[in-house]
A and B are shown apart, each in its own frame.
Chain A
Amino acid sequence: MIQLCSCVPAVLLASSSIISLGWADVLIIVIYFAMVLGIGYYLSRFTKTGDDFFLAGRKMTMWIAGLAFISANLGSLELMGWAASAYQYGILAAHWYWIGAIPAMLFLAIVMMPFYYISRTHSVPGYLKLRFGESSRMLAAISFAFMTILMSGVNMFSMALVMKVIIGWDINFSIWVSSITVLIYVALGGLLSAMFNEVVQFVLIWAGALLIPIIGLVEVGGWKGMIARIHENFPHGDYTHLWSTLGHFRDNPMGINWVGIVFGLGFIISFGYWTTDFLVVQRVLSAKDLRSAKMSPIIGAAFKMLVPFIVILPGLIGLAVMPGLVGQDQAAASGAASYNEILPLMMARYLGPGLLGLGITALIAGFMSGMAGNITAFSTVWTYDIYKPIHLALTGKEVDDKHYVSMGRWATIVGIFVSIGTAYLVEHAASIMDYVQALFSFFIAPLYGTVILGMLWKRATPAGGFWGLLAGTLSSIGMWAWVRLDPRALSIIAGSPDAKAMAEDMYRALWSWLICVAVTVIVSLATRPKPEAELVGLVRGCTEIPSEGHLPLVKRPIFWAGVVFAAFIVLQIIFW
């Protein structure tokens, strides 16, 4: 531990921290806060209508939408959680960035985006309303709003914990300062402000975090030197192969097999998150035209493929240079350092004056972009998909756009305060990552089943969509509760007594998706389908997708999707 710095007011500091801040570090952090608030204030003049506030006026270029799309996902769990997971599980954690993201993002761009965009929906639950009716929309909206607020609370708590560990800031101070900052700039400029700040945050995350793996690789003697040191430190575990250890649950530190990774993560959780989680889809819906909307996830996918360099690689370098870090529970009992702190520990190891401030700013930026993403998505879904239909049902009359903008601002304020409450709840949760993974499989996997059937199968009926979504969600919660009550149930759900917690999440998602699809199909076949005229713009086969044949090859989304997919395949082979 290093002494506390006199540059920061002592009242804000706890008793111990990994490092101290110099004048340059504090100045960089202060300038960052001033900049995001300034951008929010500047953009508030452009936020007048509901479309401006909730969808950034649907005028964003592909680069803004694409970078905001990826940045909204680069929250606290991405930076801190997966660096820790890389230390715990090795390079297997990179699956969440590659097979757990790239195919789904390209699928969103090429297959699903036309329907979201042409239908002119303002949200994913809004699409369900158009395709399946009010009940499906309400079910998806309420579950999404619930999940989003919990996610936001997780983000807040993670950030506060990092600030406490690294620089000794009091948890309450961190939670309140970051929350109020996000509240101000989102309430002022809505999605426009959130997206512009996300682009700034994206640049800062790279500027602040990129130096850690670069210097780390220098220290360990390059990639080969790092692998040699890891094998030396952990001779009985394989932390450096992406696929070759996935033949059986017991062959890898994660306790999972390739079926769980390919189907559970790659085809269900990943597709569910990247194609139906409104937090990310909202950014793409703001694009100015269909081609930009299709290109945005492709741009996002290209950058997503590179994120392991600043998240997974520091975890692997940590295995090489800092063996002996332990899990959170063991750390709490023994006083040893936890691998959950691997990223700040690496920052403390490599970054000097100024760079440290930039690194911490990168973390704060990640936390705030994730939080703002959750809050903007929450305020949109609350306003359009929960409040508006209820208000309409109760009063029987439409109100003007300004009313909804005002409601969006109030939802932002209330959402922030509910998130703060959630953050204090999360403080008592045993494992943040497990908590979030469980949430994903409760809601996201079944929602993906409903949306994909709705888009690709004309015969899917409103009753089928609703009951499939409900059955999938309830079955997911049921399986989760079953394992909590009887841990032996895990071997039944995952099909192996060697399965560990991560495998449970993957297989629960897979089963809940299958149940959702099965129930949707069965109920749809037993009920009356919608007339085809009502499916125009919503379903493949009933919707005319604008041709891109007139565009040169380098301007076609399908071409760039192919390039990104080829790069993805090459990475799998290199790290096999």
Chain B
Amino acid sequence: MHEEHGISIWFFIGSLLTIYGLIIVIASLPALFSAINQPHVVLADLHAGLWWGAILLLLGIFYVITYWPAKKDQPHSES
């Protein structure tokens, strides 16, 4: 995104992924202790919510820090 628009689009994306990652991790925690929480899910024992949520969370934090709006001199243009 070009500088004129202030906040980078990647900051918005990072924020969203951070929030989503956090929600998914929290929502997946009960399944660690009881399989009854996800009766319809095949391969629930993989606990995909936990590790997928963690990946989104880490990715989101990375983008939020990298494209934090205060860093005006950060090059946001990729070309």
Contact = CB atoms under 8 A, between A and B. Distances in A.
A94 interface: no
A292 B79 contact: yes
A349 B48 CA distance: 13
Interface string A22-57: 111001100110010001001100100000000001
Contacts of B25: 354
Given A28-B20, A199-B13, A349 B52 contact: no
A355 B78 contact: no
A242 interface: no
Interface string B13-39: 100110110011111101100000110
Contacts of B23: 24, 27-28, 354, 357
Given A24-B24, A211-B48, A352 B9 contact: no
Contacts, number: 117
A196 B9 contact: yes
Contacts of B27: 22-24, 352-354
A292 B40 CA distance: 47
A134 to B, nearest CB: 35
A19 interface: yes
Contacts of A358: 20, 24
A554 to B, nearest CB: 12
A61 B1 contact: yes
Given A24-B23, A28-B23, A352-B48, A295 B79 contact: yes
A204 B56 CA distance: 10
A173 B3 CA distance: 38
B46 interface: yes
Given A28-B20, A292-B79, A350 B43 contact: yes
A525 interface: no
Name A's interface SS.
Answer: helix
Given A46-B5, A291-B79, A354-B49, A39 B41 contact: no
Contact of A35 (B7, B12, B78): B12
Interface in A280-304: 288-289, 291-292, 295
A352 B79 contact: no
Nearest to A20: B40
A44 to B, nearest CB: 12
Given A59-B2, A218-B46, A353-B38, A31 B20 contact: yes
A288 B1 CA distance: 11
B45 to A, nearest CB: 11
Name B's interface SS.
Answer: helix
A351 B79 contact: no
Contacts of A553: none
B49 A353 contact: yes
A331 to B, nearest CB: 21
Contact of A351 (B20, B26, B37, B41): B41
A476 B40 CA distance: 47
A19 B38 CA distance: 11
Interface in A348-366: 348-355, 357-358
Contacts of B16: 31-32, 35, 200, 203-204
A179 to B, nearest CB: 22
B44 interface: yes
Interface string A458-479: 0000000000000000000000
Contacts of B12: 35, 39, 196, 200
Most central of B1, B44, B78, B79 by chain A CB within 10 Å: B79
B19 to A, nearest CB: 6
Given A31-B16, A42-B7, A355-B24, A62 B52 contact: no
A568 interface: no
Nearest to A64: B1
B13 A61 contact: no
Interface string A257-299: 0000000000000000000000000000000110110010000
A64 B9 contact: yes
Contacts of A351: 41, 48
Interface of A: 2, 19, 22-24, 27-28, 31-32, 35, 39, 42-43, 46, 57, 59-64, 192, 196, 199-200, 203-204, 207, 211, 214-215, 218-219, 288-289, 291-292, 295, 348-355, 357-358
Query: Which 8 A/B pairs are nearest by Cβ-Cβ distance?
Result: A24-B27, A354-B24, A354-B27, A353-B27, A352-B38, A63-B78, A352-B41, A62-B79
26 contacts: A22-B27, A23-B27, A24-B24, A28-B20, A28-B24, A31-B19, A35-B16, A39-B12, A42-B7, A62-B78, A199-B9, A200-B9, A200-B13, A203-B16, A207-B17, A288-B2, A288-B79, A289-B79, A350-B41, A350-B48, A352-B44, A353-B24, A353-B27, A353-B49, A354-B49, A355-B53
Interface of B: 1-2, 4-5, 7, 9, 12-13, 16-17, 19-20, 23-28, 30-31, 37-38, 40-44, 46, 48-49, 52-53, 56, 77-79
